[in-house]
Amino acid sequence: MRLALCCSFAILVAARSAAAQGVMANRWGLTVGLGAQALKSSDTAGADDVGFATYELGGRFRIIPSIEVALSLAAGANRDDSYSGLWADFRYRFMAERPWNIYAYFGLGAGSAGAKDGSDAERHGRGALRLGGGVERRFDVFALSAELRVLGFAANDQSPPVAPPTTRYELSHDSIAGLGLVLGATYYF
């Protein structure tokens, strides 16, 4: 009986301590996201949008309640094309201690975009940037989120020229930019 009483007391004290620390009680997070992304050439007037189904896996660390840093691996594909990237993100949460909070983020990384059967030169990595914002609903150690992002890749000068330019060539060679919507889930620990 004493053991059960002592264990109950320890659990109650630990739960109150975690509640007092708020979001800082669980500073690390693992994130999974699914979404849709559209990319198109920034260099060619009238370029076609190329749509992708996207997925993302990332890890986050909360430095202070409102600031997180993250490392994410993102990829997307359609029937003919794919893209991938590795990102280092900086995220600012405007209402970090509330169950519903909004955030903005900025990320730098490297990635590639092009035809799935493209050559190594066509799929060569290039610098990339992403900016976005979103809303998160936190349930203790689990959270759901939705975010809107702008994504851009630098030009790939290693991609061989093609005449006349095709959408495949524009995606693998030109600077590209696009918009995306990602729905995610995070486990904080």
Per the domain annotation, does 13 fall within a domain? no
Per the domain annotation, does 55 fall within a domain? yes
When pLDDT is averaged across residues 92-120 and rounded to a whole number, the result is 95
Per the domain annotation, does 46 fall within a domain? yes
CB-based contact 187:29 (threshold 8 Å): yes
Burial class (CB in 10 A: 0-12, 13-18, 19+), 107: buried
Burial class (CB in 10 A: 0-12, 13-18, 19+), 135: middle
Give me the percent of the chain exceeding a pLDDT of 70.
89
Element (H, E) at 47: none
Per the domain annotation, does 6 fall within a domain? no
Distance CA 185, CA 139 (A): 11
Residue 17: its pLDDT value, please?
Answer: 44
Report cis status (omega within 30 of 0) of the bond before 65.
no
- 1 three-class SS: coil
Instruction: Give residue-wise pLDDT tens across range 9-20.
Output: 444 444 444 445
Residue 13: its pLDDT value, please?
Answer: 41
Q: For residue 159, is pLDDT > 90?
A: no
**Cross-strand partners of 49:** none
Instruction: Give residue-wise pLDDT tens across range 52-62.
Output: 999 999 999 99
Per the domain annotation, does 9 fall within a domain? no
Per the domain annotation, does 70 fall within a domain? yes
Identify the domain containing residue 181 by its residue range.
26-188
- Count of domains for the chain: 1
Per the domain annotation, does 7 fall within a domain? no
Per the domain annotation, does 110 fall within a domain? yes
Residue 16: its pLDDT value, please?
Answer: 45
Residue 22: its pLDDT value, please?
Answer: 84
CATH number at residue 127: 2.40.160.20
